[in-house]
Structure 1
Amino acid sequence: MMYQPLECSQADYPQVEYQRRQKFWGPISLSLFTLAIIAIIGIAIGIVTHFVVEDDKSFYYLASFKATNIKYRECYGMRTSKQFIERSHQIERMMSRIFQHSGEGRFIKSHVIKLSPDQNGMNILMVLVFRFPSTDSAEQVRKKIERILYQSLKREPMPLTIHKPSFTLTSIDNKKMRNLLNSRCGIRMTPSYMPLPSFASTERIVQGSEAALEGEWPWQASLQLVGAGHQCGASLISNTWLLTAAHCFRRNKDPNRWIVTFGITITPPTVQRSLRKIIIHENYHKETNENDIALAQLATRVEFSNVVQRVCLPDSSIKLPPKTGVFVTGFGSIVDDGPTQNKLRQARVETISTEVCNRKDVYDGMITSGMLCAGFMEGKVDACKGDSGGPLVYDNHEIWYLVGIGDLPDPGIEPTSPALTGRFFTTEPPGKPVYGLAAMNYY
């Protein structure tokens, strides 16, 4: 439909003449306008100065003190022991409560580094991280922290009795802090050396688009066969050893034919190493995929950083209940039989009970006591080809533990059960995700 303009006569709408204002920019008006501009610029400069000069920065301290109401136990000497972990969490929660209740709102994180014996109790060494204005000195911040701590000890009862004269607080730089935290596994740090908090991402690997952030999964490695590219994922468990799946080395067991890279992209890698040795689990059975575990030794050690870090190995008695949230990461395909991805991807999945996984419509009894099922029965989130050997991890108070190894046999392997589709992960419902649980007594 077209519209015609309405024609109106000049008589209907007589022309109105407006008086032109004279001398709009008189001396007084011009002066006021100039002052207003100067005031606005001054306010803007003040705001910028506030955020630039007064911007917060990180302060790191090494705290050492004695707890007199706890006796040291030999198992505290093993950082991966259940007893060390539980005691460390108790101490860290206490520190969090002390500083968060102070009203300062400057406390960020604490990490227990070491528990050692003392004739009157137990010595505790830990790192404390705070954020204060950049104009504050380390000494000023130290005095504030000590004041808050001493006031809290007077005001409310604590689970630990801290011997005040033993308390020392030493300012350290981020490099020293990083070196101390390197003695703790499973810690994720941002490029600015701030703790990276855990979050429940629901992004997928298969049919997903969300890639991992730098430093988010610093133990993830890519195993690459020279001339053939990425084959499998792997997990860094020390500065010289990787944990991966045994079936990744079916094509070639010669360590000289393999390289490993670290970082969120395969190309370019953040760090690259050659392999010196490959160790296949002596009880690996390719027909049943039992003990699908291998160790790979790096030819030269890696230096830990915010982008390369080892994951924690849990106590061998660990049992995750069904529907526990865990994360899987890898460079594998995002569509069925698609190409390897250059950028690391992540997916949050949930553990599934062995009873459910062994149903006839799922794996029909193939899941043994050495395996752990994880994923979703409806198949909405998945891992795929190229994710084999990669980590399945879970978060325990922002310390990450490796609980499984990606067990994804090559698609060309004939299934041993009608329930299988040629590989252990499938995007078609029902999803059939399975991760081989690492036998921790093997290390």
Structure 2
Amino acid sequence: MMYAPVEFSKTAYPQIEYQRRQQQFWDPIRLALFTLAIVAIVGITIGIVTHFVVEDDKSFYYLASFQVTSIKYRENYGIRSSREFIERSHQIERMMSKIFRRSSGVGRFIKSHVIKISPDEQGVNILIVLMFRYPSTDSPERIKKRIERTFYQSLKIKQLPLTINIPSFSLTPIDSKKMRNLLNSRCGIRMSSSNIPLPASSSTERIVQGRETAMEGEWPWQASLQLIGAGHQCGATLISNTWLLTAAHCFWKNRDPTKWIVTFGTTITPPLVKRSVGKIIIHEEYHRDTNENDIALAQLTTRVEFSNVVQRVCLPDSSMKLPPKTSVFVTGFGSIVDDGPTQNKLRQARVETIGSDVCNRKDVYDGLITPGMLCAGFMEGKIDACKGDSGGPLVYDNRDIWYIVGIVSWGQSCALPNKPGVYTRVTKYRDWIASKTGL
């Protein structure tokens, strides 16, 4: 059955009353011993707190540039969405990880992101953001010297895939705002509220009876599509400053863009950002009876500004293929039980892709899965998207860059055995998206 839109309702939580303890009187010896014990505990606690405050880690960001002489410049390096730029960026980022991962101390190097590849007479120039974690008592300049020393030593002793012109290397400390502005040129990068990059792995718990998303910025492309006066109806995914990707069936009752709003953030109420919808484009060949071509676009009347907590996801190349049992993540504000209420806080689940041959078995969906559909979940059930998650993203992490590979479309009930979630396969519609948006 289709994951139909549902209205938001609040959950009532029971209040707990605690029993009062009877007052007790202490003799002088017991009171003295008790006081000494309290003083000792307080002393130890202060010591521990002081230790962690002093040793509290902080994020440090650096903008690095260097010349690579073993690469010849290609025109597509200037297009950040091109396969050439993405593949070369991954190679450079892997190399930086090899240089710093073990050399800079456990957990010190977080990640790197290539910002620009530009032409040079002897090869190419690389502009890259480096992210580290060090005690807050350290200074950016002292850490800078440490990073430079590690970099130069690595070039001497490690076999690296690229040839770097050592004198060309420069390193500049930058603040978190500058770092975010630089990364805004890249899609699919998620950050926490404190600018700390999050690990690719996350909860394996489900949206159905699952856990709430941990923090702002964990899934910054997630949006809520809401009918004015009726509340949350569907999820959607930000793919540019103005365009969102969602499911066609979300609009089957109302296609009037003036009746819709979009909100961003990990809660529906209050929203972090709110925008009006100016245009709705539904796939011309959408068939509600078969769920084929269940894809639509919504354009905002006013663009959103990218930040740590609102960011676009990457669109996959049409040639991207995910083998069965690939880990992917689904997020949404949908119900946690079949026909339950919308959840005010965003929820997340790790699921796995399932081959269409398995999904088309007689005991599963009996031939209903077309080439434009993608199954994901688990054959034993239990973990799944549900009602109200429709239109939301199914995303895949490729070397810390996140791609939308599916749109929550339909399924039989929620989290049943042999009835995994069915998603619109985004790679199948890559040309259609480009023809409507230019993306």
For normalisation by structure 1, the TM-score amounts to: 0.84
Gaps of 5+ in 1: 1-32, 409-422
Q: Does 1:275 align with 2:265?
A: no
Which residue number corresponds to residue 20 of structure 2?
Answer: none
Q: Which amino acid aligns with 1:101?
A: R
SS at match of 1:94: helix
Deviation at 1:256, TM superposition (A): 0.8
Residues 64-89 of structure 1 deviation map (CA, whole Å, 9 limit, x = unaligned): 11110111223333333333222212
Aligned partners of 1:253, 1:159: CA distance in 2, in Å? 53
Q: In percent, how many aligned pairs have the same letter?
A: 74
Query: Match for residue 435 of structure 1?
Result: 423
How many residue pairs match? The answer is 394
Distance 2:116 2:104 in 1: 28
User: What does residue 123 of structure 2 align with?
Assistant: 121
SS at 2:365 equivalent? coil
Equivalent residue letter for 2:79? M
CA distance 1:138–1:429, shift in 2 (3 Å): closer
Structure 1 equivalent of residue 183 of structure 2: 181
Within a 5 Å distance, the mapping from 1:8-87 to structure 2 comes to 50-53=51-54, 55-87=56-88
- 1:392 and 2:382 equivalent? no
CA contact 2:337–2:414 (8 Å) conserved in 1: no
SS in 1 for 2:207: coil
Q: What displacement does 1:425 show?
A: 4.8
Inter-partner Cα distance in structure 2 for 1:357 and 1:97? 40
Q: Which residue in the other structure is 1:414 paired with?
A: none
What residue in structure 2 maps to residue 307 of structure 1? 309
Contact 1:80 1:315 (C-alpha < 8 Å) held by counterparts: no
Give 1:101 shift.
3.1
Q: What's the Cα RMSD here?
A: 2.3
1:347-358 matched pairs, under 5 angstroms:
347-358=349-360
Query: Secondary structure of 1:295's match?
Result: strand
Work out the CA distance in 2 between the residues paired with 1:368 and 1:46: 63
C-alpha offsets along residues 140-188 of structure 1, whole Å, 9 cap, x if unaligned? 2222211111111112221111111221111111000011111111111
Q: Give the structure 2 partner of residue 426 of structure 1.
A: 414
Q: Deviations over 1:184-214 (max 9, x none)?
A: 1111111111111122421111233444432
| SS of structure 2 residue aligned to 1:434 | strand
Once the two structures are superposed, residues 343-368 of structure 1 have per-residue CA deviations (whole angstroms, 9 ceiling, x without a partner) of: 11111111111111112222222211
Which deviates more from structure 2 when the two are superposed, residues 262-271 or residues 357-366?
Answer: 357-366
Cα shift readout 1:355-404 (whole Å, capped 9, x = no counterpart): 11112222222211111111112222111111110000011112111001
Gap regions ≥5 residues in structure 2: 1-35, 435-439
**C-alpha displacement at 1:46, in angstroms?**
6.9
Aligned to 1:349, the other structure's residue is in SS state strand
In structure 2, the residue matched to 1:370 is: 372
Structure 2 Cα separation of the partners of residues 101 and 283 of structure 1: 53
Tell me the equivalent position of 1:136.
138
Q: Are the equivalent residues in 2 in contact too, given 1:331–1:386 (CA < 8 A)? A: yes
- Seen in structure 2, the aligned counterparts of structure 1 residues 44 and 177 have a Cα distance that, compared at 3 Å, is same
Residue 426 of structure 1 and its aligned partner are, at CA, apart by 3.4
Measure the CA separation in 2 of the matches of 1:339 and 1:104: 47
* Inter-partner Cα distance in structure 2 for 1:377 and 1:313: 27
Aligned to 2:17: none
TM-score (norm: length of structure 2): 0.84
Taking the aligned partners of 1:226 and 1:133, their CA distance within structure 2 comes to 48
> C-alpha distance in 2, partners of 1:81/1:173?
28
What secondary structure is seen at the aligned counterpart in 1 of 2:421? coil
Higher relative contact order (CA 8 A, sep 6+): 2
SS of the residue aligned with 1:355? helix
* Distance (Å, rounded) in 2 between the aligned partners of 1:136 and 1:252: 56
The residue type paired with residue 392 of structure 2 is: G
Aligned to 2:244: 242
Determine the C-alpha separation between the residues in 1 that align with 2:185 and 2:300: 19
Paired amino acid for 1:440: R
**CA distance in 2 between partners of 1:384 and 1:161 (Å):** 50
